[in-house]
């Protein structure tokens, strides 16, 4: 497997009290989560623009809240990768190689938008949980904290989306 991160050639040695291998593996997990986050951001933004139907206003506002939260999360993830001494992925090509998510092939109906976003938030939660286990193995408390917050955000979003899809 090709590594998701790369060591900067001109970077100063990173002496933050963790081994390079642990930092590298943690940065790779964060890179995958960053890719998932960015792809989910794009899909959510797309759905925000294009949602229609009786729940338009509610979904339009909810999608906006979600894509704004995802945008901020991406910045935090990239900054943590940088703090570990690695370059954060930042191109669509890199994100496409790292993500576990799939783009929407078309503009689906509102209920299908909810279903896709639910599946994607659950997928991103699994990515965050995996990355959290890697950070724990590396004894990287700041990354553990960040990943715990990301996991909480995705589980909450999934719960809300699931609730909108529930039949009474």
Tell me the domain boundaries of the chain.
20-165
20-165 maps to which CATH number? 1.20.1260.10
Tokens 């964060």 correspond to 30
3-state secondary structure of 7: strand
Higher pLDDT, 10 or 34: 34
The pLDDT-based confidence of 14 (bands split at 50, 70, 90) is: confident
Give the bridge partners for 86, in sequence order: 7
Tokens of 92: 């669509």
pLDDT on residue 26: 95
On the question of pLDDT at 10 being above 50, the answer is no
**What percent of the chain has a predicted confidence (pLDDT) above 70?**
90
Q: What is the pTM of this model?
A: 0.91
């Amino acid at each position: 497997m090709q590594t998701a991160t790369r060591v900067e050639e001109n970077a100063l040695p990173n002496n933050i009290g963790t081994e390079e291998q642990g930092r590298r593996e943690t940065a790779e997990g964060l890179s995958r989560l960053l890719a998932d986050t960015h792809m989910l951001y794009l899909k959510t933004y797309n759905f925000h623009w294009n949602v229609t139907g009786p729940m338009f206003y509610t979904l339009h506002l909810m999608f906006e809240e979600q894509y704004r939260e995802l945008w901020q999360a991406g910045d935090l993830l990239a900054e943590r990768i940088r703090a570990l001494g690695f370059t954060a992925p930042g191109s669509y090509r890199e994100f496409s190689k790292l993500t576990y998510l799939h783009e929407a092939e078309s503009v689906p109906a509102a209920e299908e938008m909810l279903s896709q976003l639910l599946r994607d938030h659950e997928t991103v939660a699994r990515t965050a949980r995996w990355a959290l286990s890697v950070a724990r193995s590396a004894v990287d408390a700041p990354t553990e904290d960040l990943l715990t917050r990301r996991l909480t955000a995705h589980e909450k979003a999934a719960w809300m989306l699931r609730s909108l899809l529930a039949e009474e």
